[in-house]
Structure 1
């Protein structure tokens, strides 16, 4: 009975968050990068107070860039899976760089201080960066949390190889049976084309600054 009530509570919370999210219109899907585009680099403040950039990772083959946040129920459900991706692929050349672009004025639970607390309590193995200006989210075309961009290093460029969801089950990791990000990174590591290059990101909308 407790398990059923817990599931119902999660579902209702997710529904509420989606309804609230619609009050803040996401950017047009026509904006941002497409697969094959060259992505801009960035230098953002990490939860340890230092600034992190893809340029810092000299030996990286690419990156798993995840736009996420503290407060979205979907981000919470994917939290351990994001960490698992970093633990699996960082040493193979594809570390996770997580970015929180939510405006803390609109969503106070996504303030820098709250990011620090969450990263510490959850023992994140990856950088958790604050996109204060929201310019990185806008340039990438990110609209959801979580929203993933797999980037491949090609010389000095960062080429977009995959955009979308982490896997095919946002509610339960154990029920997922298609792993989009893993499949994309594995293909890149093997020198093969990525079969599924784009999927629909499922999550809450990014909370944009209000004019």
Structure 2
């Protein structure tokens, strides 16, 4: 039994994600990046200097993502953010052949069908952006202040379930983070546990 346990621990250590020491740290400058969007443009974080930015890791086939899109919760938060001048960016880090991988045209159709309104959808099939930020789950969200510092990272809310009925009674971490940033206040719960499906990086 002890040998099996040691072997399991060794395998787990080898399989530890490469982003375990990623540089996305609250109150520090958010890692700079550039990425290709679903409509074929190249954007960088620097393009949005002076604006609050939300990064939302997503996988349309994940039950936890379906919870927030199927209920309209994610779309509502995207619309509210846009109304406040916040730039909301979806990120798809699923690798080719993995759950959630889509090409640009499919990503755009998915958003149109769901009435989703991100400012852009970033395609990250190699996982470089996801690993840079240490994205672990779909959804996993980050809020970057206008000065480029990371204000929040973690779950969309406090209830780690795939049940739409739980949304109304959950603490809405991302909404609270955006409200604090808009008011010039420190985010009270600036780092929370993300929940959802694991990001489907290339194995």
Name the TM tier (shorter chain). Answer: 0.7 to 0.9
Segments of 5+ residues of structure 2 without an aligned counterpart are: 1-14
Mapped to 2, the partners of 1:31 and 1:55 lie a distance apart of 19
Point out 4+ residue stretches in structure 1 off by more than 6 angstroms: none
Equivalent of 1:133 in 126, 138, 144:
126
Equivalent of 2:30 in 35, 39, 46:
39
**By how many angstroms is 1:122 displaced?**
1.6
Mapped to 2, the partners of 1:180 and 1:100 lie a distance apart of 21
**By how many angstroms is 1:95 displaced?**
2.1
2:91 is matched with 99
Change (3 A) 1:26 1:100: same
1:52 is matched with 43
1:183 is matched with 176
Mapped to 1, the partners of 2:82 and 2:106 lie a distance apart of 25
CA shift digits 1:21-40 (9 cap, x unpaired): xxx86455443422112112
Instruction: Tell me the TM-score normalised to structure 2 length.
Output: 0.79
Mapped to 2, the partners of 1:196 and 1:33 lie a distance apart of 16
The two structures, once aligned, show a CA RMSD in angstroms of: 2.2
Number of equivalent positions: 182
1:193 aligns with 2:186: yes
Instruction: Tell me the TM-score normalised to structure 1 length.
Output: 0.77
**By how many angstroms is 1:59 displaced?**
5.2
2:200 is matched with 207
Segments of 5+ residues of structure 1 without an aligned counterpart are: 1-23
SS of the aligned residue for 1:48 comes to: coil
Stretch moving more, 45-54 or 25-34 = 25-34
Mapped to 1, the partners of 2:27 and 2:181 lie a distance apart of 13
